[in-house]
Chains A and B, each alone.
Chain A
Amino acid sequence: MSTSIDGDSPSMRPGPEDDGAGDDYDAGYDLEGNRVGDRDDDLGPEDSGAVWLHEEIQRRIAAGRRASKGRHSRHEVASSTTSISYVPRHSTATPGPGALPPEPVSTPARGLPRVPAAWSSPDPTTRIPPVRPTAGPGATPDARPAAEGPAPRVEGHRRTMLAGGVAKVPVDDQGAPPPYRSGDLHGVRKARLDAVPIVPGDPDAPDPDPHESMDSRRVRVVLSERRGGARPVRTVVDVQEGTGVGELLRSNLIGAQLAVALRFAVGTALALGALPVLFAVFPEIGRTELLGLRVPWLLLGLLVYPFLVLVGLWHTRTAERVEQNFADHVQD
């Protein structure tokens, strides 16, 4: 991920699902960061063991590398990668690809689940809150074999999910849902749930209760949550709870930010810190005039301030880009 510092923000989502550009929230930088909830490979990496984790890391690194090449080069590649790892898991739960019309590219209303207009006969079961069920450690062991099955087309698969609204896979749970959730996360999840109306009487709709939704771990809801924003995506859970991928992402973020900060600090320190020595070693600098001013006065009295402002601006931009990359990786 650190390779993508200088690139554009990565977006590893399938291309046709791109949202409209108008739905960013306040900051305006997360047009690409709002792909929440429809990427299967965000599912807990820990539940499939070390091999899966390794694949996941490789894939993310590869995606990050691709992302640094530029906005246009990466969509197709990224989407194909995603498709392969994405689809088969659902193939255990869904009838199959290609049965329904293509998924409309829509811009759903903010915060509300909505059935896309182009989709005929909206089934009430689709009106599902965008619960993103989260799996704790040790969950969904059945995902593993599915992940290696043949890969149907992504669209078809999604459509299926749309039609079903919820694809609920029975999870042969080994015990209760993971008990530990940090307070933060819990709060955030609850917040999202509260914010979304739930259609009563929908038998398949997951209960907003977090425990309940944890039980129906395989629930996927694709509608409506195209929003970015503060949403605890699966990967966010990873990142926060110290799972393998989360650990990698997190140390990458802090490492990248530290590298950026140090680079700017060392550069500035060298530029400014060299001046006293230069002045002392070459006294003639102090007698040279430039633009009618002695060079030390010109440098220290005037030019140093725009220099500092520019360094600050440049760093702010760089650091924000690192953050965006991180958020995109996590939310995708």
Chain B
Amino acid sequence: MPVMSIEAISALVAMALVAIASAVIGSLGVRVARSTSDFLVASRTVGPTANAGAISGEYLSAASFLGIAGLILRDGVDALWYPVGFTAGYLALVLFVAAPLRRSGAYTVPDFAEARLRSRTLRKICTVFVAVIGWLYLLPQLQGAGLTLTTVTGLPSWVGMVASAVVVVATVVLGGMRSITFVQAFQYWLKLTAVVVPATIAVIFFVSDARTFNREAPPQFPERTTVDVRTDVTLQVEESVLVIYDGIPVSWEPGSYVVAAGSRLEFGGGAKVPVVAGAPVEDADWLVPYAGDREGGLLGTYSLIIALFLGTMGLPHVLVRFYTNPDGRAARRTAVIVLAMLGVFYVAVTLVGALSRLYNPQLLVSGDTDAAVLLLPAAVLGSGWAGALLGALVAAGAWAAFLSTSSGLIVSIAGVLSTDVLRSGKVRDFRLAAVIAGAAPLALSLTVTRLDFSEAVGLVFAVAASTFCPLLVLGIWWRGLTDRGAIAGVLVGGLLSAGAVALALTGRVGDGTLAVLLYRPALVTVPAAFLVMAVVSSLTRKRRPADTEQVMLRMHAPERLGLSRDRLAERLRSAGR
């Protein structure tokens, strides 16, 4: 890839513009907030639509923007469970958490835990898991930034990781993200545009083309293609293909080949595409679910669905947003609007991923399927100015995806760290916490091998689903929960799932059922956490907090009964007016 082509420059400019626009919107928002006498109450007046935009903007991370299309390109219809699960997680949030959590008045999970169960210990444990989940979630974001920079400019990926971590931490530290709602909402619409436009153009090209997916053959290179392999890959070849391997022409017969990192492969136009191991080779297999003996299969799918469906409610940066709604009703409505916004986005992403198989098959060779969205514009429109412009738009969208999620995560981790660990409300400590919150995952991202973004995010969701989901669901709906039970359940679920994640991250996991469960532990760890929590709570029945009934009532009773403090403040205000 040539360094600093027109595409590269325009993409860099676009990414810089996104960062500047976010900072400007953020600082304007700060000014607005400061002119309002009561920042907190003002932030509670965020309406459902604006708040839904902010939540969607924060939620659609690099994994959603880049990763899902890449997985669809590689795994086909089986990968559709990722966007479905990411979206359905908000349904679980609507059903079980949104309104009661808003009414509880708590705005982080540790806060909720203490308000409900009156236990400092539980609060500390939850703090630890907020940090763990946040850092694990930041990992693919940083790597996504690295990949984006590498793909569009050719710079090494550590440059992108470091640069992006610095940008995000600096933005948070300088306070530009305080009016995070406006910024996030802006970034949602930017991301949506950056996916819908290329998807639409690609669909137009596809319809005018006579190509089809339904072929009993591997995909073909549309034209002469050069592939740079950046990590070691194992390729499956089903039909013999001519390849120029580091300048030497060879003929690959059917079988599997290991290509070392740093190699350069050249294929002629119309050549059959070798596909990375573990993915369906033929287009016809790619089209149907569970074709062949695909990795994971049914077990993996169900475990994934559980993790995504139940993990969303445990994400620290998502829960904070619901607190900015005026009341529980608005919180529910917000979550429903989020469902719609995510749906629109993921339909477009699905299109991009599927069409990438026609236009960007070389990604199947290099294994860098996460770059599918970034490369689609050039593949469809060519390398002219139109392709460069569209590429810049997409790069800006990827950058927005990365920025919004990372800053949301760093804000929530730093908030928890500064209040619960550094124990002071000083701004200086918050800034220190923000630096820590950004440095830890950066160090991790520079050392561990990169998983597919969606895979990595799936692991995070598994941890969230095994710890905070049981805590929230049982805490909201079951008066029998005790602090001991909650602690036991969170620890069991958290250690099991985090242990599995750690094993999976080492990359030394074999095949078989155990490997599937290590990669996707939710199927075991979520029921285990629920069970432990319920059993231990039943055994420690006497430790139920005395005010359980009042707290539960406040969570479930509609605001008009006047049981909640926030509502009171508002009504006092309107009475005084």
Which residues of A are interface residues toward B (Cβ below 8 A)? 25, 27, 30, 33, 111, 182, 184-185, 187-188, 191, 194-195, 228-232, 236, 239-240, 242, 247, 250, 253-254, 257-258, 261, 264-265, 268-269, 272-273, 276-277, 279-280, 283, 285-287, 294, 296-297, 300-302, 304-306, 308-309, 311-313, 315-316, 319-320, 323-324, 326-327, 330-331
Question: Chain B residues with Cβ under 8 A from A319's Cβ?
Answer: 99, 332
**Which residue of A has the minimal Cβ distance to B72?**
A301
- The residue in chain B whose Cβ has the minimal distance to the Cβ of A299 is B80
Contact for A230 among B84, B342, B350, B562, CB less than 8 A? B562
Interchain Cβ contacts under 8 Å between A and B, 27 examples: A187-B565, A188-B563, A230-B559, A230-B563, A230-B571, A232-B562, A239-B553, A240-B550, A250-B552, A254-B477, A268-B88, A276-B290, A279-B290, A283-B288, A283-B290, A283-B291, A285-B289, A286-B287, A287-B288, A300-B81, A301-B347, A301-B350, A301-B354, A305-B344, A315-B95, A319-B99, A323-B329
B329 lies within 8 A of A286 (CB): no
Whether A184 pairs with B560 at a CB distance below 8 angstroms is no
- CB under 8 Å from chain A, chain B span 337-352: 339-340, 342-344, 346-347, 350
Residues of B within 8 A of A (CB): 77, 80-81, 84, 87-88, 90-92, 94-96, 99, 287-291, 297-298, 301-302, 305, 309, 329, 332-333, 335-336, 339-340, 342-344, 346-347, 350, 354, 477, 547, 549-550, 552-554, 556-565, 567-568, 571-572, 575
- Residues from chain A with a CB closer than 8 A to the CB of B298 are 276-277, 280
Apart from the given pairs A236-B562, A330-B561, 17 other A-B contacts in the complex at a CB distance below 8 Å: A184-B563, A191-B572, A194-B575, A229-B560, A230-B559, A230-B567, A250-B549, A257-B556, A265-B95, A268-B91, A283-B288, A283-B291, A300-B77, A302-B350, A304-B88, A305-B347, A327-B558
Query: Whose C-beta in chain A lies nearest to the C-beta of B95?
Result: A261
A280 x B289 contact (CB < 8 A): yes
Report whether A309 and B77 are in contact in the complex, using a CB–CB cutoff of 8 Å: no
Q: List A contacts of B84 (CB < 8 A).
A: 272, 300, 304
Q: Which of B77, B332, B553 contacts A297 (CB 8 A)?
A: B77
Q: A308 is contacted by which of B87, B332, B549 (Cβ under 8 Å)?
A: B87
A309, B95: Cβ atoms closer than 8 Å:
no
Known A261-B96, A319-B332; contact A236-B563, beta-carbon cutoff 8 A: yes
Residue of B nearest to A33 (CB): B560
Closest approach, in angstroms, between the C-beta of A190 and any C-beta of chain B?
10
Whether B288 lies near A315 (C-beta < 8 A) is no
Q: How distant is the Cα of A128 from the Cα of B287 in the complex, in angstroms? A: 75
Give A306 to B332 CA distance when docked, in angstroms. Answer: 17
Query: Given A276-B302, A312-B91, are A27 and B329 also a contact pair (CB < 8 Å)?
Result: yes
Give complex CA distance A296, B509 in Å.
30
Q: How far is the CB of B37 from chain A (nearest CB, A)?
A: 19
- Chain B residues within an 8 Å CB radius of A300: 77, 80-81, 84
Return chain A residues, CB-CB under 8 Å to B291. 283, 286
- Is the pair B288, A296 in contact by a Cβ cutoff of 8 Å? yes
Question: How far, in whole Å, are A269 and B96 apart by their CA atoms in the complex?
Answer: 14
Q: Whole-angstrom distance from the CB of A241 to the nearest CB of chain B?
A: 8
Closest B residue to A304 using CB positions = B84
Q: State the CA gap A311–B565 with chains docked (Å).
A: 31
Is the Cβ of A286 less than 8 Å from the Cβ of B288? yes
Q: Which residues of chain B have C-beta atoms less than 8 A from A304's C-beta?
A: 84, 87-88
Q: How far is the CA of A266 from the CA of B354 in the complex (A)?
A: 31
Whole-angstrom CA separation of A323 from B564 in the bound complex: 15
B302, B329, B354: the one within 8 Å of A320 (CB): B329
A254 lies within 8 A of B556 (CB): yes
Which chain A positions have C-beta within 8 A of B565?
184, 187
Other-chain residue from A230, A301, A306 in contact with B561 (beta carbon distance below 8 A): A230
One of A184, A294, A305 near B346 (C-beta < 8 A): A305
Question: A residues within 8 A CB of B567?
Answer: 230
B335 CB contact (under 8 Å) in A229, A265, A312: A312
Bound Cα distance A326, B288 (Å)? 49
A280–B340 alpha-carbon span in the complex (Å)? 29
Pairwise interchain contact A286-B289, C-beta atoms closer than 8 A:
yes
Is the beta-carbon distance between B553 and A250 smaller than 8 angstroms?
yes
Evaluate contact between B571 and A184: CB separation under 8 angstroms.
no
Please report the C-alpha to C-alpha distance between residue A301 and residue B557 in the assembled complex, in whole angstroms: 37
For the complex of A and B, list the 6 residue pairs with the smallest distance between their C-beta atoms, beginning with the closest.
A230-B562, A305-B343, A286-B288, A279-B289, A300-B80, A312-B336
Contacts of A27 in B (CB 8 A): 329, 560
Q: A191-B568, A230-B559 are in contact. Are A296 and B332 (CB under 8 A)?
A: no
Q: In the complex, what distance in Å separates the CA atom of A280 from the CA atom of B290?
A: 6
Contacts of B92 in A (CB 8 A): 265
* B287 A327 Cβ-Cβ under 8 A: no
Residue of B nearest to A196 (CB): B575
A184 to B562: give the CA distance in the assembly, Å: 9
User: Contact at B347–A316, with CB atoms within 8 Å?
Assistant: no
Min C-beta distance of A274 to chain B, whole Å: 11
Smallest beta-carbon distance A287→chain B, Å:
6
A279–B552 alpha-carbon span in the complex (Å) = 42
Q: Which of B289, B332, B561 contacts A331 (CB 8 A)?
A: B561
Q: Are A258 and B477 in contact (CB under 8 A)?
A: yes
Q: Within the complex, which residue of B343, B560, B568, B575 is in contact with A309, where a contact is CB–CB below 8 Å?
A: B343
